[in-house]
Homo-oligomer: A and B are copies of this chain.
Amino acid sequence: MGRLSTLFAPERVAVIGATDSDGSVGRAITSNLLASFDGDVVAVNPYKDEALGLRCYDTIGDVDDPGSVDVAVVVVPPNAAVQAIREAGQAGVQNVVVITAGFGETGSEGMSREQKLKEAAREYDLNLVGPNSLGVMSTPDGLNATFGNEMANEGDISFMSQSGAFVTAVLDWAAERDVGFKDIVSLGNKAILDEGDFVAEWGEDPQTEVILGYLEDIADGTKFIRTAREVTQDTPIVLVKSGRTDAGASAAASHTGAMAGSERAYEAGLEQAGTLRVESVQELFDYAQILSGQPLPDGDEIAIVTNAGGPGVMTTDAVGDSDLSLAEFEDGTLDRLRESMPDEANIYNPVDIIGDAPAKRFELALETVLADDNVSMAVVVACPTAVLSFEELAEVIVEKQAAHETPVATTLMGGKSVGAGQEVLSEAGIPNYFDPARAVDSLDALRDYRQIQAREYESPASFDVDRDRAEEILRTAARRDTNRLGVEAMELLDAYGIPTPQGAVTRSPTEAEEVAQDIGDDVVMKIVSPDILHKSDIGGVEVGVPPEEVRSTYEDLVVRARNYQSDATVLGSRSRRWSTSSPAPRPSSG
């Protein structure tokens, strides 16, 4: 488990700002915690003696053994929040969830408050969620430290969201379905903990099978990519990154102040990070469901088994739209299908076992195609008929899927007659959709994730960087308060170990002759001056100068520079030979 393990699996939680005032956020949090949390809940509120049956302490420091409090949930007004956090830190609490709003999302006063909050958190090395967060949930211990209306069902999806409202919507929606969660976090303003931290945490959490996220920006791209690449080797990450379009990006800026950044950069970065990026809420949960319920395919080939020609064609079109391909069956498979199916059946893929097929015929067909080495996954598409029980069919599918450990998705194409079958499938982790396009799209996501897992990342080329020298160059240039010089750029490249042409800045004809002699070839000579940016325009660059002309060229260049009313008397000379750091004479800084 990672460093946030006590955030999601605390034994003792304090609510700083606990209250029983009707309709208050403090009351909602306290009562949600009391409703289902297996651990201990303590209340802090200097203005109350008691709240919802809990004794209220004046400060967190007053709680018995305050260091044993794993998580402090802060719901005090904004102007009291920083002090509360500081006190939690002093008391030895490691994790703080700041529900309080009125920080960076509200203008300059809020921003400076958020800055102070960051400083306090850093001082005490706090794992801080928020501010402006709906809170956190973790189902194994019944932890509901949010002010939402719903507690999540237990499951293996962990979910982070930069929108608290979206968390409440998802919980309300999931309550009606068989969608369960391990942990949920509302990221809020991400003052300290961001998406990269949670990805890292869930990557080490054996109870998290899939990571879902709704993000409007990514706080630290480099950290996120590095972490996600590692995590996604074992745990798929599915993300909605909104603000994709120009209109969406400006809406995001107004919502969370997210500088959405270039969509292209996000697209490339999320792809490099090995995340599965989706565009709609429906896809987010479709992908989560199949990734948590089904094994990965060993190839791209899909078999379709159906009792209905038309829906079979629609399914085939969906395969045509995807990165999957229709499996070509082995001869043995075709022979077995020919023997066991009616004459009117189509034994080639898509396999149409026709309208009078009972569950038993589906079983035979499914067993046959799943045993085929050319089949990496299957979709079963069934329309309601008088002779087919969807519940029996679901049991058959569950059995065959498990026996072959091959991913399967289904389309029991109906409404009221689907219920019981759907439940059987859902318990076994097999997703079912009315629309075959969604079934195929979900299987396609499994394929994408398999591709991501199979990736080998090249470690980027690393340079032996002389950081001190680079810093010195930049500091000097900054002090000078004039335009940067080309030679400084060269020095900087050199400090980073990137080859540059050999050369030096010289201050007299004699010095120039010496450097040219060192180079031992024709040289390039240029005026070096912060006042002359477009050197060629005034004849300030001479190329191919032979050693014997270095002196006179130097003198010519000085004249040209002075004609331009510059103080510059310094000339550089460089050959076309490339050198790395050491052998080249160090240019003197201009």
Contact = CB atoms under 8 A, between A and B. Distances in A.
Contacts of A256: 309-310
B106 A386 contact: no
Query: In this complex, which of A174, A256, A415 has the most chain B Cβ atoms within 10 angstroms of its Cβ?
Result: A415
Interface string A420-450: 0000000000000011111000000000000
Contacts of A279: 317, 321, 437
Interface string A183-222: 0000000000000000000000000000000101000000
Interface stretch (A34-42, A247-255, A364-372, A485-493): A247-255
A122 to B, nearest CB: 27
Given A251-B313, A279-B317, A310-B161, A383 B169 contact: yes
A256 B416 CA distance: 28
Interface in A338-368: 344, 346, 348, 350, 352, 355
Interface in A230-254: 240, 242-248, 251-252, 254
B384 A168 contact: yes
Given A165-B355, A316-B251, A174 B415 contact: yes
18 contacts: A149-B384, A161-B310, A165-B310, A169-B413, A172-B384, A172-B417, A176-B416, A216-B310, A244-B321, A246-B320, A247-B319, A247-B325, A248-B320, A251-B313, A280-B318, A280-B435, A281-B314, A281-B434
A282 B23 contact: no
Interface of A: 23, 28, 106, 149, 161-166, 168-169, 172-177, 214, 216, 240, 242-248, 251-252, 254-256, 279-282, 307-314, 316-321, 325-326, 344, 346, 348, 350, 352, 355, 383-386, 413-418, 434-438
B177 A310 contact: no
Given A149-B386, A255-B352, A414-B172, A434 B282 contact: yes
Contacts of A162: 310
Nearest to A384: B172
A266 to B, nearest CB: 12
Given A245-B320, A248-B320, A282-B435, A240 B384 contact: no
B384 A163 contact: no
A350 B247 CA distance: 9
A348 B253 CA distance: 12
Contacts of A242: 310, 313-314, 317
A450 to B, nearest CB: 21
Contacts of A311: 163, 165-166, 169
B383 A165 contact: yes
A480 to B, nearest CB: 41
A35 to B, nearest CB: 15
B106 A310 contact: no
A282 B311 CA distance: 13
A106 B344 contact: yes
B308 A348 contact: no
A434 B179 CA distance: 15
Contact of A384 (B169, B346, B355): B169
Contacts of A307: 165
B255 A169 contact: no
A316 B248 contact: yes
A173 B413 contact: yes
A445 B307 CA distance: 32
A246 B326 CA distance: 11
Given A163-B309, A216-B310, A279-B321, 8 more contacts: A166-B308, A168-B414, A169-B414, A173-B413, A248-B316, A255-B313, A256-B309, A280-B435
Contact of A165 (B165, B280, B308): B308
B173 A434 contact: yes
Contacts of A175: 415-416
Contacts of A243: 313, 317
Contacts of A164: 310, 355
Contacts of A214: 310
A163 B381 CA distance: 14
A3 to B, nearest CB: 27
Contacts of A310: 161-166, 214, 216, 242, 255-256
A386 B173 CA distance: 16
B28 A173 contact: no
Contacts of A417: 149, 172
A196 B247 CA distance: 42
A493 to B, nearest CB: 38
A532 to B, nearest CB: 43
Given A23-B386, A173-B413, A386-B149, A317 B248 contact: yes
A288 to B, nearest CB: 14
